[in-house]
Amino acid sequence: MEAHFTEWLNLGIRWIHMITGIAWIGASFYFVWLENNLNRSNPREGLSGDLWAIHGGGIYHLEKYKLAPPKMPENLHWFKWEAYATWLSGVALLLVVYYLNPSLYLIKPGVALDPAMGIAIGLGSMAASYVIYHLLCDSPLGKRPALLGAVLFVLVIAAAYGFSQIFSGRAAYIHVGAIIGTIMVGNVFFTIMPAQRSLVKAIETNTTPDPLLPAKGLLRSRHNNYFTLPVLFIMISNHFPSTYGSEYNWLILAGIAVLAVLVRHYFNTRHDSGKYVWTLPAAALGMICLAYVTAPVHRAPSAAPVAAAEQPASATLAKVEEVAESATAEQAPASQVASAGSADFAKVESVIQARCTVCHSATPSSPMFSTAPAGFMLDTPEQIKAQVAKIHAQTVATQIMPLGNITQMTQDERDLLGQWIDQGAPIN
């Protein structure tokens, strides 16, 4: 039952994270669009512009003050809880998915890193990222937006590279998303909200507002706006092993981040002119190029079995290993089967039963799962045949499965699966 409740806890937190994230990102997109589309020709006194809009059967008239209205309204909506709830639910999800089972989900197979140290690196990087970002923004570099953006990009990709050396591909991507998300919520909490409170206080006390703070808040808001598309990609990336599972996953993330910023820049500037319309076809071409260069390369079978990477084991991990070893002991050693000639289906099925059905079965023997993850089952030849594309992507091309290589799949076994798939994946 523990696995069942953990799965529902994961679902509940992930759903909250998605809902609050939509609210936060939607508000960010809307207000940047609003700022960019204000009519600034001959505004009414005290205004910097206004906008007429129609939506949902109603017509709206929105006005922006140059700094503030002469008197504060009774009801003023503050956009902050969307950001806070998104970050808090994201950290909770990080805890449930990666930190409760760090040996399995967090640490890269073959890396001798203590799980507690891995968790400390993950949490520490989130705090350090905002401090570094804040110092850079308040330095002379902050007055040169393009150069600041380039420096921030290099630092984020450097973090992605560092994470990829010690964390699993999925965990590396998620932690890049976590440091960007921490920067974004830090902007709201430490810069944008104080600027807004200062503005409101000045109006209430009938003093002149400091224009510097709102300007700084607007700049950080724009930074958040450009961060959103890379973060959205990271949120869905765990469904695409050809990205995070690649040997060059950090470079793929860098490429997609650049393309996402180009797309965001077009939408941020299209009101002004069409000079950045080229960014859309450029981004599309870039995605095609990434799909091409990340295509899996067939590798010839190795001459001898390759020993599986050893992992430090938690109590839950030890249980999984025990179940996996028990399942393997009931049949011929999978590595011997894999190296015993051609890739006939009997050998392939033996490998899959030994290495994969611990989790991917109608009745998983792993204590971590009450049902097959994502409904992915490999109990029968027909099910194996139907999942050939995913088997190739996750065990042969990117080798992200089994998770943490907990069932100790060897390179010979992966080569056997690849050879069988290359032969058309016959099951007869």
Span 6-55, pLDDT tens digits: 888 989 999 999 999 999 999 988 988 898 889 999 999 999 999 999 99
What is the average pLDDT value for the chain, to the nearest integer? 85
Residue whose structure tokens are 């859309």: 280
**Higher model confidence: residue 268 or residue 54?**
54
- Coil, helix or strand for 312? coil
> Phi and psi of 167, rounded to 5°?
-105, 160
Q: What letter represents residue 306's amino acid?
A: V
Residue whose structure tokens are 């027909």: 382
CB atoms within 10 A of CB 100: 17
Give the whole-number percent of the chain exceeding pLDDT 70. Answer: 88
Q: What pLDDT sits at residue 242?
A: 82
As given in the structure block, the two tokens for residue 38 are 């204000």
Q: pLDDT, tens digit, for every residue of 224-260?
A: 999 999 999 999 998 888 888 888 999 999 999 999 9
Give the whole-number percent of the chain exceeding pLDDT 90. Answer: 50
Query: What is the length of the chain?
Result: 428
Q: pLDDT, tens digit, for every residue of 102-156?
A: 887 899 888 889 999 999 999 999 999 999 999 999 999 988 989 999 999 999 9
- Who's near 272: CB < 8 A, 6+ residues apart? 36
Q: pLDDT, tens digit, for every residue of 159-179?
A: 999 999 999 999 999 999 999
Residue boundaries of the structural domains of the chain: 2-293, 315-422
> Which pairs with CB-CB distance under 8 Å and at least 24 residues apart come from 331-336?
334/409, 334/410, 334/413, 335/305, 335/410, 335/412, 335/413
Distance of CA 209 to the CA centre of its chain: 39
Q: What pLDDT sits at residue 261?
A: 95
As given in the structure block, the two tokens for residue 221 are 């808001």
CA angle centred on 16, ends 11 and 17, rounded to 5°: 95
CA angle centred on 129, ends 128 and 133, rounded to 5°: 115
> Quick one: CA torsion of 81, 87, 90, 96, rounded to 10 degrees?
-90
What is the distance between the alpha carbons of residues 256 and 249, in angstroms, rounded to a whole number?
A: 11
> Phi and psi of 422, rounded to 5°?
-65, -25
Confidence of residue 297 (pLDDT cuts 50, 70, 90): low
Q: What pLDDT sits at residue 187?
A: 96
Q: Look at residue 307 and tell me whether its pLDDT is greater than 50.
A: no
Q: pTM for this one? A: 0.78
